[in-house]
Structure 1
């Protein structure tokens, strides 16, 4: 009988990491996570190590006995995030090789042609470090992931609620937003696959501009049509400062996210379904992905797979 594969997760406190950790535990995999401030609502079966992803000792402890390592760490909140993420990637690749890990799984972003933003360049650099390492590595690339807890979704929803909103030129850029459910599917599917190598795009079924995505989000929220005012001088820095003052997303995080909108964030590599089975029933539609992420009931939904966001939190409380 084959041994159950053991998983290690870096970035389990993020919105993707939390969901993936719950999925892995539900599927019966032993899971070990590394976090500087471990949340209290992780499944009881999870082994938790308090530490930093840049610390080789912490990595060695978490990777010991692991078959698959998920690297979901991004350091946007910190100055010099690109340098820190590069160092972490180098140490992850080294520690994984020393521990005998069979598969590294990284979740990054798309690769626009030509000069790109610091945020996207950093994600691509991390992928290259892992792909060039001795352990088989796969880099899944997604533009905007629509899921609860996402900074990008928070910015999108706040903008969609405005009665009047600026419309700078960079909002015409296009992407393929993807449901968190579909990202979770491909990440979890990598556990039982043969070792994968290379970059694969994880994209939603619909290509859309950021401006139209805001309008679609407003429609899902039941908001009236807003007045979009051309704003050629509305910079990423201005948008980030406003976001920092009016939303839970710090300006330091919002700025690189807005900066990435200078590019069309469209698939450039082979789709993930060329190496892994697609989600049952196909990808979640854009409207259903927004409904799930925003907590809007899915009723009389248009074509596309409905998704129910089922969140479970463990408690020591008795029945009374």
Structure 2
């Protein structure tokens, strides 16, 4: 297969590219500000997100395009400028990519354009949400909604478009655990806020497997949740992570401290969503890391290796 990947140098993108190369597939990574070259055995292609350029040639005859581009939501304190960057890096980039696909002479077979479980809103209820669940009205939910709508030009010309709504990703070399593990190692780890917020998590290897599965499963269109089958509360996550690391998990991070550090962005961590991967399960996808403890053991043992 021929794949085109945006956001290929990010946490999920690196894992996906590594897997595709190992499978023997052809991979073109659209890389912002980079000169043409190679990254491992993937071909690196310079592009400016949100602008048409020579990179559009890579779309011709591609089997699948995976759009993972987007500025990190929690990489900086929220401000109007930061949220505008988060939005533009997703919505504008996706719209231009979809328009380029729509005008291709030999259009890709499928566009997997990322989204996130944040589309369901910042919640504290216990409702299990599937792909048809009510969507939120907060700033992140609205960004996710516009992010998905931005792929419409590709959909209108008959390209299969699917939106992996990705949860909290665990893995080596990035993701949520990169920030959680150090305090636990230092014996000061614990739950954040009330500890009652739901965490819809997933192992990065299952994210990669789900993307590959969706690319080759014609019945998957529109949104599909990319989360493990059993979400957990933050308190259980902290307790399990502490047990796996052989460390206590009693040092709770109070909400006021997180708000002082992150401002409005703290609410994205102090709340959560209880999400079910309904469409993946219905399509027959099998998770490699469905249980929290096993997933954490895998990630932390890899860190130690």
Q: Secondary structure at the match of 2:113?
A: strand
CA displacement 1:214-235 (0-9 Å, x = unmatched)? 2221221221x24335735234
* 8 Å CA contact retained: 2:172, 2:302: no
* 8 Å CA contact retained: 1:164, 1:228: yes
- 1:1-320 matched pairs, under 5 angstroms: 5-36=1-32, 42-44=39-41, 46-76=42-72, 79=82, 80=84, 81-99=86-104, 100-110=107-117, 111-112=119-120, 113=134, 115=136, 117-130=138-151, 133-134=155-156, 135-164=159-188, 169-194=193-218, 196-223=220-247, 225-229=248-252, 231-238=254-261, 240=262, 256=265, 258-267=266-275, 270-279=278-287, 283-296=289-302
Q: Secondary structure at the match of 1:86?
A: helix
TM-score relative to the length of structure 2:
0.78
Of stretches 10-19 and 154-163 in structure 1, the one that deviates more from structure 2 is 154-163
How far apart in 2 are the matches of 1:201 and 1:31?
25
TM-score relative to the length of structure 1:
0.74
Q: Secondary structure at the match of 2:53?
A: helix
How far apart in 2 are the matches of 1:272 and 1:14?
24
How far apart in 1 are the matches of 2:145 and 2:243?
34
After superposition, the CA RMSD in angstroms is 3.1
How far apart in 1 are the matches of 2:187 and 2:53?
51
CA displacement 1:162-211 (0-9 Å, x = unmatched)? 54467664532012311111111111123332263111112213321123
Alpha-carbon spacing, 1:276–1:69, altered in 2? closer, same or farther (3 Å): farther
**Structure 2 unaligned blocks of 5 or more:** 76-80, 121-133
How far apart in 2 are the matches of 1:232 and 1:184?
33
How far apart in 2 are the matches of 1:291 and 1:187?
23
Of stretches 162-171 and 96-105 in structure 1, the one that deviates more from structure 2 is 162-171
